[in-house]
């Protein structure tokens, strides 16, 4: 399992490359949810999501010979862009396997960053197998989206930044709400907090029908999602959480919440209207848990991670504006 030392090393590798995203507060949001909310705005990170951190740390940890044949990854969009941007920073090739129905902005931005995009059918294709075949054929290093200790450690730098920012504000926090798909983000953040601020309870938040982490925590074993569910939170849709991330999250997390698409839309709209922040649906599920009253925030302070802001304009106009 990763340690705070691994995350500290990742922070040193990332120094000057990542955006130290702000911790933001809005009175109107506090009034709405009945407590204090501090937003860690990773939607303002390079490529519009937290994923750059893990990808850059992973590439930085490789030797020159390992980097020579480039990298390959599979992703619905945010990991794709993070890997593409990190590869570009190191001047190496990147190939990304993406679903053909991924948001247009994510596909276009991945190509703009210089990566080769290979599309597949989300319902019939096996993205992991496709990426593995490319890695074997080209010699590229395979970059999983979350189930990798270097990637988890890179995401954990968010937790270290949160601790520093709380201290500089003279603030305390009672809980942290974090979006979760495969579990890499919350695994890294929770590891940092358990080492530095163990009094902060960490909760994962997922869309209804895709709350496999919540179910797995309750059952004490990895539990996949049932087929047939749909959600607008494309960035955090996975069938089952990671083999590496699960034991970390089982140890660190206090629990999990599931939220409806309706609560997510309301939260994205609230962030846009009040904070003037563009946050994608999957990135806003933490606030949705508070809007929906999943936990009582009276007299307490929550840190909410806004994990990404890559949302198609047409979707935003139709569902949010």
Let me know whether 45 and 183 are in one domain.
Answer: yes
Let me know whether 208 and 277 are in one domain.
Answer: yes
The model's pLDDT over 227-264, given as tens digits with 9 standing for 90+, comes to 778 999 988 988 899 999 999 999 999 999 999 999 99
- Decide which of 77, 109, 143 is a domain's last residue: 143
Let me know whether 111 and 222 are in one domain.
Answer: no
d(CA 268, CA 286): 11
Let me know whether 72 and 30 are in one domain.
Answer: no
How many domains would you assign to the chain?
2
Let me know whether 229 and 112 are in one domain.
Answer: no
Does residue 166 contact residue 172 with C-beta atoms inside 8 Å? yes
CATH number of the domain residue 98 falls in: 3.40.50.1100
Let me know whether 192 and 161 are in one domain.
Answer: yes
- Decide which of 93, 117, 143 is a domain's last residue: 143
Per-residue pLDDT, 99 = 87
Let me know whether 228 and 186 are in one domain.
Answer: yes
Let me know whether 30 and 80 are in one domain.
Answer: no
Note down the domain range covering 215: 4-49+149-320
Let me know whether 162 and 208 are in one domain.
Answer: yes
Enter the pTM of the model: 0.95
Let me know whether 193 and 251 are in one domain.
Answer: yes
Let me know whether 164 and 225 are in one domain.
Answer: yes
For the chain, which residues score pLDDT lower than 50?
Answer: none
Q: Please, which residues have CB within 8 angstroms of residue 270's CB and are 6 or more apart in sequence?
A: 29, 32, 287, 291
Number of helices (H), then strands (E), belonging to the chain: the values are 14, 10
d(CA 120, CA 171): 46
Cα torsion 78, 50, 256, 246: sign: positive
Per-residue pLDDT, 202 = 98
């Amino acid at each position: 399992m990763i340690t705070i030392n691994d995350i500290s090393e990742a922070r040193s590798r990332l120094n000057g490359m990542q955006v130290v995203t702000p911790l933001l507060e809005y009175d109107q949001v506090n009034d709405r949810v009945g407590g204090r909310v501090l937003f860690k705005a990773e939607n303002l990170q390079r490529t519009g999501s937290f994923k750059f951190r893990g990808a850059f740390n992973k590439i930085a940890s490789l030797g020159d010979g390992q980097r020579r044949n480039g990298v390959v990854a599979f992703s619905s969009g945010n990991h794709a862009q993070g890997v593409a941007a990190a590869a570009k920073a190191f001047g190496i090739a990147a190939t990304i396997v993406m679903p053909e129905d991924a948001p247009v902005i994510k596909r276009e931005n991945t190509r703009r960053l210089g990566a080769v995009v290979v599309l597949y059918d989300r319902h019939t294709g096996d993205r992991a197998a496709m990426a593995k075949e490319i890695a074997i054929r080209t010699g590229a290093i395979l970059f999983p989206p979350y189930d990798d200790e270097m990637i988890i450690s890179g995401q954990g730098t968010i937790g270290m930044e949160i601790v520093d920012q709380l201290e500089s504000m003279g603030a305390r926090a009672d809980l942290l709400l974090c979006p979760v798909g495969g579990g890499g983000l919350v695994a890294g953040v929770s590891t940092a907090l358990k080492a530095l601020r163990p009094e902060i309870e960490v909760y994962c938040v997922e869309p209804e029908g895709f709350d496999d982490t919540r179910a797995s925590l309750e059952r004490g074993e990895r539990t996949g999602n049932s087929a047939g569910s749909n959600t607008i939170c494309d960035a955090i849709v996975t069938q089952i959480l990671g083999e590496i991330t699960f034991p970390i999250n089982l140890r660190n997390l206090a629990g999990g919440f599931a939220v409806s698409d309706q609560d997510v839309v309301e939260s994205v709209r609230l962030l846009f209207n009040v904070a003037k922040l563009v946050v994608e649906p999957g990135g806003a599920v933490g606030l949705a848990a508070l809007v929906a009253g999943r936990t009582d925030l009276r007299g307490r302070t929550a840190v909410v991670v806004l994990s990404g802001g890559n949302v198609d304009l047409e979707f935003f106009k139709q569902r949010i504006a």
